[in-house]
A and B are shown apart, each in its own frame.
Chain A
Amino acid sequence: MNLTLTVNGVEHSLDVPANTLLTDLLRTQLRLTGTHVGCDTSQCGACTVHLDGRSVKACTVLAAQAGGRTVTTIEGIGSPDDLHPMQAAFRDCHALQCGFCTPGMILRAIELVEDGGALDNRTVREGLEGNICRCTGYHNIVKAVLAASDTMQEQSQ
């Protein structure tokens, strides 16, 4: 099927099998390999991307469902020279080790902050419940999200 969608600000028109998953479209067709696949039951969250600004697990979204919509992946939120505050906070707080869960974790965390609710240790932990990290014990991830939340709020004011 023919599909047009915008990924990281670039419009793509593609011909894909109807059963193509968004993860496969991103990783295989567009070579955006920052979106990872860590499980087959929509539990781990490594594949989290933004679809029209909301975080989704791309392993359970059909590429067709993204037709006409805007997808943002880890490659689209900042660059090595111009990091998103959440990316910078993950580095500053040592919130990653092997890095495999990190893209999904960052995209979910950005949405958590952008939702605008009051964040503290408990609400951040609850908000990250759908993303599994095996390396960090979450301690520094929570610190990073709270730090980035402060930066993002300052920048939006």
Chain B
Amino acid sequence: MSAETGIGAAVKRREDLRFITGRGTYTDDLNVPGQTYGVFLRSPYARAKINAIDAADALQVDGALAVFTGQDAAVDGLGDLPCGWLVKSKDGSDMVSAPHPPLAVSQVNYVGEPYGLVVAESLAAAREAAELVAADFEELTPVVAAAEAAKASPIHEGLEANLAYDWELGDEAATDAALAAAAHVTRLDLTNNRLIPNAIEPRAALATFDPTSGEYELRTTSQNPHLERLVLSAFVQIAPEHKLRVVAPDVGGGFGSKIFVYAEETVVTWAAAKVGRPIKWTAERSESFLADAHARDHVTHAELGLDEAGRFTALKVRTTANLGAYLSLFGSSVPTFLYGTLLAGQYKTPNIHVQTHGVYTNTTPVDAYRGAGRPEATFVVERIVEAAARETGRDPAELRRLNMIEPGDFPYETPVALVYDTGNYQASLDRALQLVDYGGFKQRRAASEAEGKRRGIGFSCYIEACGLAPSQLAIQLGAGVGLYESGEIRINPTGSVTVFTGSHSHGQGHETTFAQVVSDKLGVPFDDVEVVHGDTGRVEFGLGTYGSRSLAVGGSALISAADKIIAKGTRIAAHMMQAEPDNVAFEEGAFISGNQRLTLQEVAFASYVPADYPPDLEPGLSEKAFYDPENFTYPAGAHIAEVEVDEATGVVQLVNFVAVDDFGHVINPMIVDGQVHGGLAQGAGQALLEHGIYDADGQLTTGSYMDYCMPRADDVPDFTVDTTVTPCTHNPLGAKGCGEAGAIGSPAAIINAVTDAVGTEDIAMPATPEQVWRKLHGL
């Protein structure tokens, strides 16, 4: 296959041409005839009863069309927003779910929670009318801090407590016994700071309703339009699936935050039929801060036991996870199945036990964001391993190497329910040590000190479970849907190829990468392959993009479909060449038997013009496949950070970052490197800059870019990235997924470097100048 465009080639992205010329089509760029504008009414309080909503004055505004409340939606039978993952407490009981109506009916439970929708002829009129809606609230005492939530009085009427679940994994008795017998126990208290995802395109929705056909069409900022349709149809019950089309056009970043089915697009779709006109809603950034699902927010105590030789004997983890006011779509799974299962890390720790208390608070719901549980797990494991190395006087790289699962140990079953298929963690660590010039660190530290700066180095050898997910296993663990992916390949009559994938690209470059995969597999020119995604009206089904799954699962579905194309084409070609199918080979885009050769294009034409054609075969050459993975994939790698800390100001500068990752086979190394760069900057943001903070009243004090510190170009260095390769053993591409690694590995590496420089383990994320300065001065 072409070295320029096949698997492994750094093909320039075909989607770029529209983006660099301003011709992308994001949701807010779309307008339809008769369009109206929606503005949401949002709670100013963290917790309050809604006594009355008076819209009389609002409806007097010129151009105001309607005001809808939660009561209106309830009367219409609009269903609750569901949580898609049922977690069970350790006593076997189901998690406690608080009802989550799309518009609050009798009580609001976080600042920014929508309780009404104003629709008007113009955005200005909608805003003016929204100002005039008089809502009578009765303030109630909010619960804000996760650590105190379990003991506080319940925020939801009808629930007995704020504890949604008390989940555990692993053998507690064996872990306690091993800790009691350990030669050394390292103990660490950790917080994983609340983050706000901040894709630069705010969420938006444009909904239309056709009363003649009863069909709804929703164009929205979604990472998974089919899941959106499924939820709106099956749970919210707006319309059956054949009467509801969901389109995710160009989407400006997601990072998890656009997976979930939110109140806004739900209500706008429902209301479009009520108003009888299309309704458009686009979030302002302030709304994004308040109403996009937040992330992380864990408080953890961890204990790691080591024997005399430094081998890990046990890891015990106690975590309180802030779930926010409601269980978001995947919110329950993030601090449990996506977290506790990763606590073995890259190590042969024989005894592990984790307990997670998921609690409700009067804050924005918390859900998956780049890494989703795995950054939190990595932070626990890699912080405590680094601390253990310091406490026991061992080199942090060598302590890790001593405990690593070795290449000959695979498949490796961990004490926390996963079976790692393959890996070579030592190879990644070795390469990272070489790239960072570990031996030269002492000299660099001395050079920094000469300039009044303390230099630190920190490691993070992470693992992640990606390629979500084997459906049966996921459903056993509580998932409400299968986690396969669909793909369809149509060879058009004159030989061009249209590929349909249930996966979705919002920056990942599927239109290029997936075309590379199909072009390579079928031996057709790259330019002849078109990739279609993001439209339930064109793509049969899909589960979308999250959990670094697109290539490993969605790409594998395309390989399965391509195999079916080749199988059918072989039968057609055999007939045309008067050969036995078993004697026909498919090589580089052609069917070959002896000295006869028919191209895929010739066979495709014959399938649509079946003159000389097998009598028992259907015409046409179009095949679809659903691919359900056998196992998760396990990307892993070694990240090393170096920081300089200014003693005078406490400012931490990330001066060097090396990431060596094993993603299995790489389709497009340019895109993979870009994914890592982006994840690293988000991880650096978590470690040094970003923090979603609520005050005691439950007001979000970091609700804008003036207050929430996003990483900017001068906050991060050039990154040194490289890959090692152990191919995934159970999917046809040998691919593991690369989207989240940067954000998973880097926070621990950076904080390990900061704590190394400052000389205390007691540094919380983000390591702000004020905090670091106080630690430097013992305050």
Contact = CB atoms under 8 A, between A and B. Distances in A.
B410 interface: no
B671 interface: yes
B22 A100 contact: no
Given A41-B285, A137-B681, A139-B719, A91 B200 contact: no
B712 interface: yes
A97 interface: yes
B13 interface: yes
B508 A97 contact: yes
Given A91-B12, A99-B15, A34 B714 contact: no
Given A97-B253, A99-B18, A138-B716, 19 more contacts: A27-B29, A32-B22, A34-B22, A37-B28, A38-B252, A44-B705, A78-B21, A83-B21, A94-B670, A94-B673, A98-B253, A99-B16, A100-B24, A129-B714, A132-B710, A134-B198, A134-B199, A134-B682, A142-B713
Given A40-B285, A98-B201, A125-B714, A35 B22 contact: yes
B292 to A, nearest CB: 12
Contacts of A136: 674, 677-678, 681
Interface string B705-745: 11000111110101100000000000000000000001000
Contacts of B20: 74, 83, 87, 90-91, 96, 99, 102-103, 106
B16 A100 contact: no
Contact of A142 (B16, B284, B705, B718): B718
Closest 3 CB pairs of A and B: A34-B22, A99-B19, A100-B252
Given A74-B21, A139-B718, A91 B678 contact: no
A144 to B, nearest CB: 10
B509 interface: yes
B507 interface: yes
A124 B673 CA distance: 21
A43 B706 contact: yes
Interface in A126-157: 126, 128-129, 131-142
Given A41-B704, A96-B20, A137 B710 contact: no
B3 to A, nearest CB: 18
B680 interface: yes
Nearest to A31: B31
Chain A, interface size category, equals 35 or more
A132 B26 contact: no
A126 B253 contact: no
A134 B21 contact: no
Contacts of A40: 284-286, 704
Given A34-B21, A134-B710, A44 B716 contact: no
A98 B252 contact: yes
User: Interface centre among A99, A125, A139, by most B CB within 10 Å?
Assistant: A99
Indicate the member of A39, A126, A140 with the most B CB atoms within 10 Å.
A39
A92 to B, nearest CB: 7
B506 interface: yes
Contact of A38 (B200, B508, B680, B713): B200
A153 B678 CA distance: 29
B255 interface: yes
Looking at B22, B201, B251, B507, which has the most chain A CB atoms within 10 Å of its CB? B22
B507 A38 contact: no
Nearest to B198: A134
Interface of A: 27, 32-41, 43-44, 46, 73-75, 78-80, 83, 87, 90-92, 94, 96-103, 106, 121-122, 124-126, 128-129, 131-142
A151 B543 CA distance: 43
Nearest to A89: B20
Contacts of A43: 704-706
B285 A91 contact: no
Interface of B: 12-13, 15-26, 28-29, 198-202, 250-253, 255, 284-286, 506-509, 670-671, 673-675, 677-682, 704-706, 710-714, 716, 718-719, 742
B742 A90 contact: no
A137 B21 CA distance: 21
B26 A36 contact: yes
A133 B200 contact: yes
Main secondary structure of the interface of A (DSSP, over half): loop
A141 B713 contact: yes
Residue among A32, A37, A78 having the largest count of chain B Cβ atoms under 10 Å:
A37
B200 A132 contact: yes
A91 B201 contact: no
Contacts of A97: 253, 507-509, 674-675, 678
A139 B678 CA distance: 8
A103 B710 CA distance: 19
- B20, B681, B712, most chain A CB atoms within 10 A: B20
21 contacts: A38-B285, A41-B706, A75-B23, A80-B21, A80-B23, A90-B16, A96-B16, A98-B250, A98-B251, A100-B24, A100-B26, A102-B20, A103-B20, A103-B22, A125-B713, A129-B713, A136-B677, A136-B678, A137-B680, A137-B681, A137-B716
Contact of B22 (A37, A73, A92, A138): A73
Given A99-B507, A100-B253, A124 B24 contact: no
Contacts of B711: 137-138
Contacts of B675: 97
A126 B710 contact: no
A128 B13 contact: no
A80 B15 contact: no
Contact of B507 (A44, A125, A135): A135
Contacts of B678: 97, 134-137
B526 to A, nearest CB: 16
Nearest to A136: B678
A34 B24 contact: yes
A34 to B, nearest CB: 2
Nearest to B199: A134
Contacts of A92: 12
Contacts of A37: 28, 202
Contacts of B285: 38-41, 44
Contact of A124 (B18, B29, B713): B713
Given A90-B20, A94-B13, A135-B253, A100 B201 contact: yes
Contacts of A34: 21-24
Contact of B16 (A39, A91, A128): A91
B202 A38 contact: yes
B428 to A, nearest CB: 20
B182 to A, nearest CB: 39
Contacts of B12: 91-92, 94
A44 B200 contact: yes
Contacts of B253: 97-98, 100, 134-135
Contact of A91 (B13, B29, B255): B13
A141 B713 CA distance: 9
A94 B507 CA distance: 11
B219 to A, nearest CB: 14
B22 A33 contact: yes
A142 to B, nearest CB: 7
A152 B774 CA distance: 47
Nearest to A90: B20
Contact of A36 (B252, B671, B719): B252
B200 A101 contact: yes
A55 to B, nearest CB: 15
Contacts of A125: 713-714
Contact of A75 (B22, B710, B713, B719): B22
B23 A46 contact: no
A95 B25 CA distance: 19
